[in-house]
Structure 1
Amino acid sequence: MKCALVTGGSRGIGSAICQKLAIDTDYHILINYQFNKEEAENTLEKIIAKGATGEILKFDVTNFDEVKSVLTEWQDANPEAVVEAIINNAGITKDGLFMWMSQEDWSSVINTSLNGFFNVTNFFMQKMLRNKFGRIVNIVSLSGVKGTAGQTNYSAAKGGVVAATKALAQEIAKRNITVNAVAPGFIRTDMTSELDEKELIKMIPVNRFGEAEEVADLVSFLVSKKASYITGEVININGGIYS
């Protein structure tokens, strides 16, 4: 059984990626979530409706021991399963000016994106190297490429993942494992629902927010065999806002 794991897969971009992979690939989809079980189940139903298989895995990506425990238990229960694709999508924002930022707001955002990437990817790394095939896609952000005022923590977290993407790609390319990052700009999801869309689209050359499905299409391509010669890249998907 070949599998794709999507962290933060219950809602928004993560859910769209799960559903797109269900259509485009033969992967058994592993939907990770931390809080919203109802949305995770909803995503699973949509995957099954599209003729694919999947299951839900609850763990907090920031907790190394919990990640290891849940994934080890899953691997032991599914000894024939091979995770070929990892989409590190879990991320949170706690925006605010740096001068007022609490240590907790700094650490929790860094831990989710950057340590989450390590905890999940590191678990599967040796298995992928032995298997001599893998696709790792890290969902970063315009903020991690360009920097965004009021998001020093989020920019630092995603910028760290950008650098890690480039370094890891060089380490493991010979084993036919690609590592790429996708940097969305303003995408219409729960995370951006509080933003002033009418004001912000003035900054966007294509004059609209993107859709989660458009990000999912790009991720699906990077996971495919067609993208075998693309690694260490950060691909912007932002309607023309370039850093």
Structure 2
Amino acid sequence: MSETVSFGYEDVDVSEKTAMVGEVFSKVAAKYDLMNDVMSGGMHRLWKDRFVRRVKPQKGEAILDMAGGTGDIAFRMAPSGAEITVSDINQEMLDVGIERALERGIDPDEGSLVWSRQNAEELKFSSRSFDAYTIVFGIRNVTHIDKALKEAHRVLKYGGRFYCMEFSTTEWPGFKEIYDAYSHKVMPKMGGLVAQDEDSYRYLAESIRRFPPMPEFEAMIRDAGFARTKVEPIFGGAVAIHSGWKV
């Protein structure tokens, strides 16, 4: 029997998921950041600011921002003077980020930002290349999360840090039912109205529910070789910042 993985609430052949996820993000790339504002009421901006404060990028560091195509995290880290490689498996997402960089007067061929199409499960970078690895709202869409975590560990230098922000399961009593109803009924409708794509946002909502709970994902990070792992719940656990160190 062929191996299956989750695609939202569906189980699909493992060979199909990467292309299916790619199609979703190709469709939503142009409106991705606008939809983040609409769906979170702008709160994703505060969450990302908080995330970057935890990463503490420093001048001269080499940082890999994986699944960071539109540049939202990279643009926040760039003022630190760190050398940031923005990577994504989806070229349409990277194209949006490059366009946004040009609008900010940042030449995509020069300066502290480099744009690179990469598969998180099979990075083309040399081992021990980066001081920090970041991934925000992206790892749940990876076909083999364990492979992506091991690759993150491989490309980090000793003493390097791993930071991931991902949606999770809220721990606030009574809020779970409200959040579930919003995710399954409101989010797809908003996707249809704003991005003319209800199905893609239905998948994105479902993918959150299929992602491992915080303790389980922290265990996966440890299994990949990281030490001093930590979980920081935000908004009652609806979002969480996970971290670990390569020692």
TM-score (normalizing by structure 2):
0.40
TM-score (norm 1): 0.40
